[in-house]
Amino acid sequence: MKTAVKLFARARDLAGTAMLELDLSESATAADLRAVLGEQVPALQLILPSLLIAVGNDYAGPTTRVAGRTDLAVFPPVSGG
Amino acid sequence: MKFSPMIQLTHEPIDFAALTESVRSTQAGAVVLFLGTVRELTHGRQTVALDYDGYPEMAEAKLRELEAEARSRWPVIEAGIVHRLGHLELGDVSVAVAVSCPHRHQAFDAGRFLIDRLKEVVPIWKKENWSDGSTEWVHPGTGDVADLSDRTP
């Protein structure tokens, strides 16, 4: 299924967009999302292992389900302050 | 006038005097204010400006979680956290944390916890604008040169 993912900071710059539509399976986890991201957006492979995945307002672990969510975001380690 | 304690992201200059006033209370014997400001030199490299990006919904949710955790660990009377986004010049205030507690050590500890955890978990990013004209996102742990900028206590 087509799933929208927001991008921020360097991830957005490398992908050239603030929002991606990824084709994810109906049982997709955050680990699957990361793999699909690398396949569909080769420019992100450079920082793929360090990218954080958020589901809603929480950080996802590798097994967190992302299928069917409308509030996904992907971004590099944070540097506020 | 007295402002309500606040947690927010803003593109406007931070009114840290108002934020500090908003956490004052007759129950508190101590008020601590932390300001993060744009520094010129990072390991010998010269910054001319910083650009901050954020994921507002999640960032504000994480800030509220941090406030709740601080309240569970210290007798916080009031706490306020404001982070600025957008283009900041040298010396500008990027973040302000204000905390009031009955006693000073509690206020210092709670304030330090809030700014330390903010830098670890709140989805906000800074981009360096170096004096040589180059720009660089600061993403700790990814091997970027600008990594070093945030590793100094």
Question: In the prediction, which pLDDT does A39 show?
Answer: 96
- Residue located via tokens 């840290």: B16
Alpha-carbon distance of B18 to B1, in angstroms, equals 9
Q: Is residue A13 part of a domain?
A: yes
Quote the DSSP letter at residue A65. Answer: B
pLDDT beyond 80 at B5: no
List the domains of chain B with CATH numbers.
7-143 (3.90.1170.40)
Give residue A33's domain range: 2-75
pLDDT tens figures, B119-145? 999 999 999 999 999 999 999 987 654
Decide if B94 touches A, using CB distance below 8 A.
yes
Q: Which of B9, B52, B53, B94 would best serve as a mutation to test chain A binding (most A beta carbons within 10 A)?
A: B53
Number of domains forming the structure of chain A: 1
- Residue located via tokens 């109906």: A26
pLDDT beyond 50 at B40: yes
- Residue located via tokens 């389900």: A65
pLDDT tens figures, B78-91? 999 999 999 999 99
Instruction: Report which residue type is found at B68.
Output: A
Alpha-carbon distance of B110 to B98, in angstroms, equals 10
What CATH number is attached to the domain comprising A32? 3.10.20.30
Q: Which of B137, B138, B148 would best serve as a mutation to test chain A binding (most A beta carbons within 10 A)?
A: B137
Please indicate whether, in this complex, the C-beta atoms of B124 and A57 are within 8 angstroms of each other: no
Q: Is residue A80 part of a domain?
A: no
Q: Is residue A71 part of a domain?
A: yes
Average pLDDT of span B72-78? 98
Question: In the prediction, which pLDDT does B147 show?
Answer: 46
ipTM of this predicted structure:
0.95
Alpha-carbon distance of B46 to B131, in angstroms, equals 5
